[in-house]
């Protein structure tokens, strides 16, 4: 470990060396959970029940490529400016088990600046392009460069007595144009 010396900007040289020019910020967490709570007082995040599988109701029959929302499931992404801070375009892409997928979300400008322990957080619904039952990947990109990916599996309820009746509320169709109501 390098000794910390006082830098011209008030930071230490060790901190400056950890943030090289042109580097990408560091993703420290990317996962799915049932619920994400952000405290109103200190803005801390609490993730409740981290998940990796969702159950389709037995009667669901989405079309290939249809954009779906995974019930109340939340996507959580935490990014720190350790590798390089600035303003970035954040994109989320889904990849399905049969090679289908595409963009499912974009934030045109995310501010990832500040001290190494600062950063940005994204909490939102899980949105994906339907591509059949199986293993999906959700990818996070900053300015087009992948910084993280996380898997999740979609299975189908076989027996209505094992929670399949409740599974109907788990996955719903996303209105592609919410202003069209």
Tokens 């669901």 appear where? 60
Q: For residue 63, is it within any domain?
A: yes
- The CATH number given to whatever domain includes residue 26 is 2.60.40.1930
Q: For residue 10, is it within any domain?
A: no
Q: For residue 8, is it within any domain?
A: no
Q: For residue 128, is it within any domain?
A: yes
Dihedral angle at the C-alpha atoms of 149, 122, 33, 179, nearest 10 degrees? -100
Distances (CA, A) of 62 to 122, 124, 132, 175: 27, 22, 9, 13
| Model pLDDT, residue 117 | 87
What is this structure's pTM? 0.74
Q: For residue 7, is it within any domain?
A: no
Segments forming the whole domain that contains residue 40: 19-162
Rounded to 5, what percent of the chain is helix, strand, coil? Answer: 10, 55, 35
Q: How many domains does the chain have?
A: 1
Q: What is the pLDDT along the chain (181 residues), one digit of tens a residue?
A: 333 444 444 444 334 334 455 678 999 999 999 999 999 998 889 999 999 998 888 888 899 999 999 878 999 999 999 877 889 999 999 999 999 999 999 999 999 988 888 889 999 999 999 999 999 999 999 999 999 999 999 998 874 444 333 433 345 444 444 444 3
Q: For residue 13, is it within any domain?
A: no
Rg from Cα positions in the chain: 19
Q: For residue 54, is it within any domain?
A: yes
């Amino acid at each position: 470990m390098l000794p910390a010396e006082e830098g011209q900007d008030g930071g230490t040289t060790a901190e400056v060396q950890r943030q090289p020019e042109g580097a990408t910020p560091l993703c420290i967490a990317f996962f799915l959970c049932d619920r994400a709570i952000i405290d109103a007082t200190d803005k801390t995040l609490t993730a409740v029940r981290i998940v990796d599988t969702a159950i389709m109701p037995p009667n669901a029959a989405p079309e290939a490529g249809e954009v779906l929302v995974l019930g109340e499931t939340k996507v959580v992404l935490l990014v720190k400016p350790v590798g390089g801070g600035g303003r970035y375009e954040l994109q989320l892409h889904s990849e399905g088990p049969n090679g289908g997928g595409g963009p499912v979300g974009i934030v045109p400008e995310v501010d990832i600046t500040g001290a190494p322990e600062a950063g940005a957080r994204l909490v939102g619904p899980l949105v994906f392009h339907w591509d059949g039952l199986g293993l999906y990947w959700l990818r996070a990109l900053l300015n087009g460069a992948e910084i993280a990916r996380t898997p999740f599996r979609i299975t189908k309820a076989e027996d209505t007595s094992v929670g399949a009746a409740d599974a109907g509320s788990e996955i719903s169709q996303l209105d592609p144009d919410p202003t069209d109501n």
